[in-house]
Chains A and B, each alone.
Chain A
């Protein structure tokens, strides 16, 4: 069984960002403290930053447009960066976009630092770009993100609909690193969230050790594609 040794914990307030290299053998449990959180995360191979999360490869390899327990998060090199080993939510959104300074201003108005100090309005794009800059990356490196805790449903005509109330207080999702993965994490609202009030939600981050994925591991065996994705990730470390 997983030793589940706690490494450290941190509260991430709403509208804030965080970068961490999630090492192989460790996992991150994210808990939605209040319900209704949105946590956009983008992923890079820390050793080769030009290898990064690939949304289409993640979705088409697993024939899914939502992510939950058992699913894997793929890089553009056919390797599993992280896998979702636990999830009480059931649906995380990989097809919605993330907010920008322009979209936040248009939807919620302006809240400057001068007036509101650290309760000013931020955007996922701005937070991502700032964190990326600390790793010598810029907008050329910024591609898609996964909006954890959010649900966007697509109807038969292709229309995208944000489903409120997808995540409840206390819901959590756990990502296990299959490679040393740079995670850029943000907590700004989903751009399709119809709420007219800027109210980004805080989440709890819990980093802990986990056993390596066994032969019978759920994520490794959830589909034949993932079995092959794990082979590619494991060969990278040989």
Chain B
């Protein structure tokens, strides 16, 4: 793997207007206003923060993984990546990243995909799409609007031979990714509860979520 470029932020958590810890297995929905900065901190290391983005005023405009990759011509997200909507607008831009690589091809685990990937009897296990479904439903948004997500802190390389692999994580405790909202954005997170995959060492851990106002230097 090539060297990753790590960019730190100078924002001070003490000046954040929102600061909370999201335990593993829980969902979250929150509006990040235009100009505000949003940070996700991997508290335990190699935790997948599965994240969806919507235009907060019109949920039919939403994050598009393929349009985002097409725009930057690269499958990995890091500082400078513009998170694009299905209408060709920038929702967020990543402004700092101390992990260096995030995935948007691996999607979110679901009861049904766990059955396919691991075993038919895994249907009962908690999953990201369960958390997405309920977080979206709390704002009156249905499965029809659920789309492909970003997996912050996940390492899912594609090889030149066209293999998709889930590699050991490259994040660690305290690593973070930070992004600035280009419009009013509804952010939906499932802090991944996956217990069948070594990417998080079979140990889902909390993430810290912070928002800074537009007037913070």
Contact = CB atoms under 8 A, between A and B. Distances in A.
Q: Do the two chains belong together in a single complex?
A: yes
Given A140-B60, A140-B144, A225 B116 contact: yes
B115 interface: yes
CB-CB nearest 4 A-B residue pairs: A56-B107, A78-B112, A66-B162, A97-B70
Nearest to B123: A78
Given A64-B164, A65-B105, A57 B75 contact: no
A97 B60 contact: no
Nearest to B68: A97
Contacts of B147: 143
Contacts of A155: 160
B65 interface: yes
24 contacts: A50-B142, A50-B144, A54-B107, A57-B116, A59-B106, A60-B106, A60-B156, A61-B113, A63-B163, A64-B163, A64-B164, A65-B105, A78-B111, A98-B66, A140-B60, A140-B144, A141-B144, A156-B1, A156-B2, A158-B76, A225-B117, A228-B115, A229-B116, A232-B112
A73 to B, nearest CB: 13
**Interface size range of chain A in the complex:** 35 or more
A154 B104 CA distance: 14
A158 B163 contact: no
B165 to A, nearest CB: 7
B158 interface: yes
Contacts of A100: 88
B116 A61 contact: yes
Given A144-B148, A228-B120, A232-B115, A63 B165 contact: yes
Residue picked from B65, B113, B145, B147, most chain A C-beta under 10 Å: B113
A192 B164 CA distance: 20
A59 B82 CA distance: 23
A64 B129 CA distance: 22
A96 B110 contact: no
A169 B154 CA distance: 40
Given A96-B66, A144-B66, A160-B75, 14 more contacts: A50-B142, A55-B65, A55-B66, A56-B108, A56-B148, A57-B110, A61-B117, A64-B162, A78-B112, A142-B86, A153-B162, A154-B162, A158-B158, A228-B119
Contacts of A117: none
Contacts of B66: 55, 95-98, 144-145
B77 to A, nearest CB: 9
B162 A159 contact: no
How would you classify the secondary structure of chain B's contact residues: helix, strand, loop or mixed?
loop
A47 to B, nearest CB: 15
Interface residues of B, number: 49
Nearest to B162: A66
A228 B165 CA distance: 20
Given A77-B112, A228-B116, A102 B69 contact: no
Nearest to B1: A156
Interface in B194-213: none
Contacts of B163: 63-65
B130 to A, nearest CB: 13
B131 to A, nearest CB: 15
Nearest to A80: B116
A160 B97 CA distance: 22
B73 interface: yes
A56 B105 contact: yes
Given A97-B66, A144-B66, A154 B158 contact: yes
A74 B116 contact: yes
Interface in A37-68: 50, 54-57, 59-61, 63-66
A86 interface: no
B143 interface: yes
B120 A159 contact: no
A139 B105 contact: no
B184 interface: no
